[in-house]
Amino acid sequence: MSDKTEEIQAAMKEMPAVFTMLSTEIPKLIEGIRKSAYSEEAGREMGRAVAAFYNSLVEAGIPNDQALAMAREYLANQNSFMKGLNIGSSKG
């Protein structure tokens, strides 16, 4: 058998352990991200970010009603991004 074949066979033998590790670690990682993204502190930070965005628009001369609509859209886009990552959904 060639060295390359032996390398492939060795890697194949490791695959079940890799998949087992991934099946336990990836859900933990996603849950950690979800918790940090929807924590009280994350909410405060998002509020600050939206307020800063709104204020910068108003300071740049955008009318208040348009700035408010743009800030709402900014927040909706942030939420949509998180949902797209499936971070905001809790499954059991």
Model confidence pLDDT, tens digit, residues 33-66: 777 777 888 889 989 999 999 999 999 999 999 9
Provide the pLDDT for residue 35: 77
**Mean pLDDT rounded to a whole number for the chain:** 85
Cα-to-chain-centroid distance, residue 58: 29
SS3 65: helix
Whether residue 85 has pLDDT greater than 70: no
Q: Among 43, 35, 47, 39, which Cα is nearest to 74's?
A: 47
Q: What are the φ/ψ torsions at residue 73 (nearest 5 degrees)?
A: -65, -40
Whether residue 77 has pLDDT greater than 80: yes
Q: Which pair of structure tokens corresponds to residue 89?
A: 């959904």
Domain positions in the chain: 3-84
Percent of the chain with pLDDT over 90: 34
Provide the pLDDT for residue 38: 75
Query: Kindly report the CA angle at 50 between 48 and 56, in degrees rounded to 5?
Result: 100
